[in-house]
Amino acid sequence: MSAKPLLKVEGLQVAYGHIEAVKGIDLELHEGQITTLVGANGAGKSTTLLALSGLVAKAAGRVVLDGRDLSSLSPHKIVSAGMVQVAEGRATLTTLTVRENLELGGYTRTDSRAARAADLDNVYTLFPRLKERADGLAGNLSGGEQQMLAIGRALMAKPRVLLLDEPSMGLAPIIVQDIFRTLREINKAGLTVFLVEQNVRQALKIADRAYVIETGKIVLEGSGRELLGDPKVQDAYLGG
């Protein structure tokens, strides 16, 4: 699998008023890999993703996808450029059906209806439960099903980079295993994944590359396996 840098983040800074939430971090995502950003609550993980997606303003820094500078683009243009986020808390449209939620995921696409229909079938193959519930309201889904829907909706945008913010949050352990297994499957099909996750052990197990963020700064980086075995990571996040 290629290790070509697909996404480069350089000197990213984000501030909320006088509080500097992200303090000049550098990241690289390599094509076809899973990269994870882990850390404690309030470390700056979600803010980093929101800045990449254009959903919060950057105080400084550049975000470059395959040579194209996305730093000043609006969120919908970032989606069109190929970077799509699955939001923390899933953000499904509860009064619409499962199918309508999925179809909305492709709203920026300009290809044929047949191509979008084929991708909808692919999402149903990946998540058979969504096909069973296609005509039901999204608000009637369980938490795990809503997370599947949120991921499926993002996939309908045909991303080159999939950003995921805390996909395990609030889910039962057996559902978490299913979600992470699906992420591996998506990645094996060639999609580059950037995972922000508080479940450090699970995230590092599936990550090719990993970064640890503390109080807005990257303090460690390496392969997922290296960081799983790092005593500092074990003491801080894995219970020693």
The span from the CA of 34 to the CA of 191, in Å, is 9
Record the pTM.
Answer: 0.92
DSSP 97: B
Q: Which of 32, 169, 18, 152 lies closest to 97, judged by CA?
A: 152
Contact 211, 35 (CB under 8 A): yes
Full pLDDT tens readout for the chain, 240 residues? 445 689 999 999 999 999 999 999 999 999 999 999 999 989 999 999 999 999 999 999 999 999 999 999 999 999 999 999 998 776 888 999 999 999 999 988 888 999 999 999 999 999 999 999 999 999 999 999 999 999 999 999 999 999 999 998 888 899 999 999 999 999 999 999 999 998 899 999 999 999 999 999 999 999 999 999 999 999 998 875
97 Cβ contact partners less than 8 Å away, ≥ 6 residues apart: 134, 135, 136, 137, 138
User: Domain range spanning residue 90?
Assistant: 5-237
Count of domains for the chain: 1
Which CATH number goes with the domain that contains 166?
A: 3.40.50.300
